[in-house]
């Protein structure tokens, strides 16, 4: 079996047995990047020096029989809105073209402590705002299954790098579906943890009551391993859950017979026939595994996109106020006064979608409109949380499609509102702080991947992984590799 | 739905500190109208007596406070390396108060 198709566990195990060196793994990874990057455009920067140095250190550690981390020699990629000390963090924005991160995000410390090797930073929609990665100021990432299609977004570079078998693990961030939707469109696993499960310290903030960092991988077990490493309380993030996290790799092996799956059929009425059929097939698989399927009422989720575009833009408008051209980032060259430094740097530095969202967010928070928009949205959000709680009284997990459609052609969705509606099935979990996973559940007739989403109650990570592992084992879709990247 | 005009967009853009050309304002106005009209959907929902969501996590209903002690902070040199312009160990910006 080639190195690039190995699971994270197998890479570490081979390295520990001395069958392959860390340096060989890193060189193999960069050789694949050199070969495929021109057609894929998944990376914004590569961390060659850092990766080779780390590999040499690991090879030495191995030679000296020193203890090795749980992710020893696993090459990983990081979404470019997560800080890696000494490397550029652009967030896909012209504003941060030259921003060299002065510190590590907590997740980076945790992954490097377990001896993972950071290979590069991946492309994303500017400040994670988008569902196709086309809002990046730098390049358009392609979907490994069909290069004329978008990989989804905003963590599109991470999803493409994993699906193209360049790295077995890439980090993404999810505010409205930005890990799960590209995971679905690229035929891989995308997991958004319970709000507060993974530290957000060092993730460039977008919507602080929604943002979570999570893994994109090729198998449920790889995602569980990454989550065990990253799920730790962090005092640098005041919303980090101050509790021990349960193990996931052992929990996910528990039998699923008797587990109850809730399906919000009413909410899924508008699903197109091909996707509906595929979803029904997935539900049959759940039943064949001995799971019970019940109907749950989540019709409130038809308001989720509307709530999201008030709450997320309001939070974005305040979070992005820090980009003022004074302390870091790119300052307008023609600004002559301090006011112009602010106004012109932001005009030059931000792309159209970011400006649209900042202005919308400023509007819904402005005097005279705050009650009608922001407070109203937060009230409906309370109802969403309540409805999910009621649903989880009847079931262990909720199943829906991840996305209303599979990978779409680059440039085909021009209307911002149409693009926002791509997240109709994923936003609910962000609004209610729930753990949710997208996993491969089939293909369209022309071979584009389809994803199933399993959502659990808050802190229900073990149940989500348990259900997902059983579904994966029964279907084996994860074994299929996009032809161009075998 | 409130009447949004190009002037409203101009005013909001000013609050958001983003300079906009007339053409950009027109485009934003068009998109905003479409998005706000979609958001009207929320008016269908009866929220009488419902509290706005202030807390997402059941297990974390209070923000923990950090201990009030000094800790290490970023070295000045590291910070200054990121600044677009600097003078004598400080970040430089155009003059704020007019002389005289």
Q: Which of A21, A154, A158, A173 is catalytic?
A: A154
Please give the residue of chain B at the shortest CA–CA distance from A85: B78
State the nearest Cα–Cα gap between A395 and chain B, in angstroms.
Answer: 19
State the nearest Cα–Cα gap between B100 and chain A, in angstroms.
Answer: 17
Q: Is A197 on the interface with B (CB under 8 A)?
A: no
The answer to whether residue B39 sits within a structural domain is yes
Alpha-carbon separation of residue B66 from A11, A235, A236, A367 (angstroms): 40, 8, 9, 33
The answer to whether residue B77 sits within a structural domain is no
Average pLDDT over residues A78-106: 97
C-beta atoms of B39 and A373 within 8 A: yes
The answer to whether residue B34 sits within a structural domain is yes
Query: pLDDT (tens digit, 9 = 90+) per residue, B26-45?
Result: 999 999 999 999 999 999 99
Interface of A with B in 376-395 (CB under 8 A): 376-383, 385
Both ends of chain A: CA-CA distance in Å? 11
CATH of the domain at B14: 1.10.20
Looking up tokens 């949004």 gives: B4
C-beta atoms of B42 and A195 within 8 A: no
Residue A317 has pLDDT above 90, yes or no: yes
Both ends of chain B: CA-CA distance in Å? 49
Residue B2 has pLDDT above 80, yes or no: no
**Would you mind telling me the total number of residues written for chain A in this entry?**
486
In A236-285, which ranges are E strands? Answer: 260-263
Please give the residue of chain A at the shortest CA–CA distance from B92: A326
Domain that holds residue B14: 6-43
Query: Could you give the domains of chain A?
Result: 3-256+407-413+425-485 (3.90.1300.10)
The answer to whether residue B10 sits within a structural domain is yes
User: Which H/E stretch holds residue A172?
Assistant: strand A169-174
Distance CA A383, CA A396 (A): 20
Q: Is the pTM of this model over 0.80?
A: yes
* Percent of chain A predicted with pLDDT > 70: 100
State the pLDDT at residue B1.
Answer: 66
Average pLDDT over residues A265-272: 94
Please give the residue of chain A at the shortest CA–CA distance from B32: A360
| Residues of B in Cβ contact (< 8 Å) with A385 | 53, 56
Please give the residue of chain B at the shortest CA–CA distance from A333: B84
Confidence category of residue A401, pLDDT binned at 50, 70, 90? very high
Give the mutation candidate from B3, B19, B76, B78 for the A interface (greatest A CB count, under 10 A). Answer: B19
DSSP A303: G
Average pLDDT over residues A354-358: 97
C-beta atoms of B82 and A416 within 8 A: no
The answer to whether residue B16 sits within a structural domain is yes
State the pLDDT at residue A281.
Answer: 98
CA A351 to chain centre: 22
Residue A293 has pLDDT above 90, yes or no: yes
State the pLDDT at residue B60.
Answer: 87
Neighbours of A375 (CB within 10 A): 15
Structure tokens at B41: 């959907």
Average pLDDT over residues A359-375: 95
The answer to whether residue B28 sits within a structural domain is yes
Give me the interface pTM, i.e. the ipTM.
Answer: 0.95
Number of independent structural domains in chain B: 1
Does A304 participate in catalysis according to the annotation?
no
C-beta atoms of A379 and B53 within 8 A: yes
Confidence category of residue B98, pLDDT binned at 50, 70, 90? confident
């Amino acid at each position: 079996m080639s190195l690039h198709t190995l699971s994270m566990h197998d890479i570490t195990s081979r390295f520990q047995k001395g069958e392959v060196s860390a340096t060989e793994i890193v060189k193999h990874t960069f050789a694949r990047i050199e070969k495929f990057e021109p057609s894929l455009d998944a990376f914004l920067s590569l961390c060659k020096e850092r990766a080779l140095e780390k590999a040499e250190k690991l090879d030495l550690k191995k030679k000296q029989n020193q203890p090795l981390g749980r992710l020893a020699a696993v090459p990983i990629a990081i979404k470019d809105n997560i800080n890696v000390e000494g490397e550029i963090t652009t967030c896909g924005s012209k504003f941060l073209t030259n921003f060299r991160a002065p510190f590590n995000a907590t997740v980076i410390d945790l992954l490097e402590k377990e001896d993972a090797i950071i290979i590069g930073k991946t492309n994303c929609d500017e400040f994670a705002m988008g569902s196709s990665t086309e809002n990046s100021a730098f390049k358009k990432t392609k979907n490994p299954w069909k290069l004329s299609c978008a990989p989804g977004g905003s963590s599109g570079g991470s999803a493409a790098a994993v699906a193209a078998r360049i790295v077995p693990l890439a980090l993404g961030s999810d505010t409205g579906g930005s890990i799960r939707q590209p995971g679905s469109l690229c035929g891989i696993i995308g997991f958004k943890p319970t709000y507060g499960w993974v530290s957000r310290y060092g993730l460039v903030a977008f919507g602080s009551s929604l943002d979570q960092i999570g893994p994109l991988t090729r198998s449920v077990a790889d995602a569980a391993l990454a989550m065990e490493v990253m799920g730790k309380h962090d005092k640098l993030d005041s919303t980090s859950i101050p509790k021990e996290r349960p193990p996931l790799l052992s929990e996910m092996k528990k039998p699923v017979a008797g587990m109850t799956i809730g399906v919000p059929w009413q909410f899924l009425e508008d699903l197109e026939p091909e996707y509906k059929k595929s979803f029904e097939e997935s539900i049959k698989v759940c039943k064949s595994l001995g799971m019970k399927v019940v109907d749950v009422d989540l019709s409130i989720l038809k308001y989720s996109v509307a709530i999201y575009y008030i709450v997320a833009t309001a939070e974005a408008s305040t979070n992005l106020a820090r980009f003022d051209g004074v302390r870091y980032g790119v300052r307008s060259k023609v600004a002559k006064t301090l006011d112009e430094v602010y106004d012109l740097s932001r005009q030059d530095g931000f792309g159209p979608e970011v400006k649209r969202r900042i202005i919308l967010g400023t509007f819904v928070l402005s005097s005279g409109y705050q009650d009608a928009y922001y407070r109203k949205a937060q009230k409906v959000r309370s109802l969403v949380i309540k409805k999910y709680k009621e649903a989880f009284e009847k079931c262990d997990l909720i199943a829906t499609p991840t996305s209303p459609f599979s990978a779409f052609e680059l440039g085909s969705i021009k209307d911002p509102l149409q693009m926002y509606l791509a997240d109709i099935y994923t936003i609910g979990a962000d609004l209610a702080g729930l753990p949710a996973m997208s996993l491969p559940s089939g293909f369209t007739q022309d071979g584009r991947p389809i994803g199933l989403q399993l959502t659990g109650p808050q802190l229900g990570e073990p149940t989500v992984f348990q259900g997902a592992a059983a579904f994966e084992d029964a279907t084996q879709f994860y074994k299929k590799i996009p032809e161009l990247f075998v | 739905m409130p009447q949004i005009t190009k002037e409203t967009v101009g005013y909001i853009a000013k609050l958001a500190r983003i300079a906009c050309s007339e053409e950009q304002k027109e485009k934003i106005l068009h998109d905003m109208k479409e998005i706000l009209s979609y958001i009207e959907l929320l008016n269908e929902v009866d929220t009488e007596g419902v509290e706005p969501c202030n807390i997402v996590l059941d297990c974390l209903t209070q923000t923990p406070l950090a201990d009030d002690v000094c800790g290490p902070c970023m070295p000045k040199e590291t910070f200054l390396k990121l600044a677009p312009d600097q003078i004598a160990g400080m970040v430089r910006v155009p003059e704020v108060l007019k002389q005289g």
